[in-house]
Amino acid sequence: MVLIRRIVQTRLDNRQAVAVITDGVLDDFVFQPPASEIEPGTILSGIVERALSSQGAWIVRLGKQRRGFLRCASPLREGEPLRVQVSGYADQGKLIPLTTRLEIRGRYLVATNSRRAVTISGKINDPEARERIRQRVQRATTHHDDALGFIVRSSAMFASDRQLTDDLDRLSRDYGQIMKQGPGDQFTILGFPPSILDRMIANWGDTASLDIVSGGDTFDQESIFEMLEPFINRKAPLSNGGNLVVEPTHAFVAIDVNSGRDLSGKSGLHTNLAAARELPRHMRIRGLGGQIVIDFVPLTDRGRQQVEDTLRQAFLADRVATTLVGWTRLGHYEIHRHRERYPLCRWLEE
């Protein structure tokens, strides 16, 4: 069965916003951050300012007002220029997280300087399909920079040889341009991440028939604002009558799962399973990242395993790097998620 998926694009407060609707359900929502923010994926030329020896890290100067935080095992020296990439959004008042492992994202491939090989997405789990794609990409990389490696995205399963080659050529060309530019003594932006529309197409275009809709009033026509209401409020209903309460704090995100008025014997398990299926969607649309602590309704050991299995299955379709850490001694469930999205709550506060 082919899913019907619509990608709806508009501008809100003169910033791009994109929603993804699958079979009438809001699956994703992302918006352009304010101009004061440097988006994750941006490649910069920075200057090493000083070491944080106790943390095995360095502070990197990014122009006159911004500073970044870089963990780096390689020896560096103060005043050294280097290329870095923004790896996530910083918490308010904190340093911008940086990495020297550059990644340039394409429609089907990701070019990286951190590995000199072809790596296949774990979402492609059929051994024969993995080997076929590996051979196709290796043939296409024969005449390209040996210093560059490629990560094959799951969308490559549906790409032609020509599409793979075109994507690879563009990524190699972009990487070459970045290498020519820097680093230098002045703060410079060397490369930008793909637009949010391109990211949504790359993330969601491999398993469904895509319909892209653009225009000034498309969010009203597609009822996007109504669909966003459960994700704007701190309390969101679940399908079985329970609810989630989402509380972003300065240190972590707390999520409380409540069974509501249903006091039957299995209501707790049913509520927790419903929450586990919905959590990836809430994290995507709300732009949640960092440490996330979930207070599920109390469970038996068997129930905990069912909830964890459901969580793992639910996150398979999610594109943001997420680690399911597991149950704590106090019975909470901990998740760590990459901060690659601007939080919806901060957008609403602006």
pLDDT tens digits, one per residue of 21-48: 998 999 999 999 998 899 999 999 999 9
- Tell me the helix, strand and coil percentages in the chain, rounded to 5: 30, 35, 35
The rounded mean pLDDT for the chain is 89
| Whether residue 115 has pLDDT greater than 80 | no
Yes or no: say if 183 and 189 are a contact pair by the CB < 8 Å rule.
no
| Whether residue 239 has pLDDT greater than 70 | yes
The conformation of residue 186, written as its DSSP 8-state character, comes to: S
| Whether residue 208 has pLDDT greater than 60 | no
The pair phi, psi for residue 12, each rounded to 5°, is -120, 125
CA angle 188, 192, 195 (to 5 degrees): 155
d(CA 88, CA 96): 7
Q: Using only the alpha carbons of the chain, give its radius of gyration.
A: 22
pTM: 0.88
Q: Which residues pair with 231 in a beta bridge?
A: none
3-class DSSP assignment, residue 257:
strand
The per-residue pLDDT for 31 is: 94
Question: What are the start-end ranges of the H helices in 117-232?
Answer: 127-140, 161-181, 196-204, 218-221, 224-232
Q: How confident is the model at residue 1 (pLDDT cuts 50, 70, 90)?
A: low
Domains belonging to the chain, first-starting first, are: 1-33+194-224 (3.30.420), 43-100 (2.40.50.140), 233-349 (3.30.1370)
| Whether residue 143 has pLDDT greater than 80 | no
Strands 25-31 and 43-52: unpaired
